[in-house]
């Protein structure tokens, strides 16, 4: 099975999740989302697999969020653009399985804490 990991290589949680995926024998595409942010369309597809809204994926403790976005009401499209343009706001790590036969909600997970990764495999 193939998986895409959206991560920050220096993040300890991301490193644990990468190792867990490797231990499961998955074919992994690792994306440093800070260097290669997902497009708004990619984010939309990921969010549908997560069964989440864009604002649910935001790191609300980030200073950038506190300074520029806290308390604002944005549309889905606006949030998708904000996350693309400011990838530091995206919660990590995100694991997306290439498993279209699985129902939404079982195709992707925000693996924080890393134990949440098991939600995809149970």
User: In whole angstroms, how large is the CA radius of gyration of the chain?
Assistant: 14
Helices H / strands E in the chain, number of each = 4, 4
Instruction: Show the tokens assigned to 39.
Output: 């497009």
Q: Is 11 a catalytic residue?
A: yes
Tell me which of 11, 28, 30, 64 is the catalytic residue: 11
Residues 50-76 as b or e (16 or more Cβ within 10 Å = b): beeebeebbeeebeebeeebeeeeeee
Q: How far is Cα 17 from Cα 4, in angstroms, rounded to an integer?
A: 11
Of 85, 119, 81, the closest CA to residue 103 belongs to: 119
Instruction: Give me the active site residues, please.
Output: 11
């Amino acid at each position: 099975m193939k998986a895409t990991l959206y991560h920050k290589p220096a993040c300890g949680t991301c490193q644990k999740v990468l190792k867990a995926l490797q231990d499961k024998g998955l074919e992994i595409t690792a994306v440093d989302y800070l260097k290669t942010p997902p497009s708004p369309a990619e984010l939309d597809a990921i969010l549908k697999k997560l069964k989440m809204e864009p604002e649910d994926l935001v790191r609300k403790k980030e200073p950038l969020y506190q300074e520029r976005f806290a308390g604002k009401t944005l549309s889905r499209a606006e949030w998708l653009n904000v996350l693309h343009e400011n990838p530091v706001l995206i919660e990590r790590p995100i694991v997306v399985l290439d498993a279209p036969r699985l129902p939404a909600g079982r195709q992707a997970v925000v693996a924080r804490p890393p134990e949440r990764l098991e939600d995809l495999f149970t």
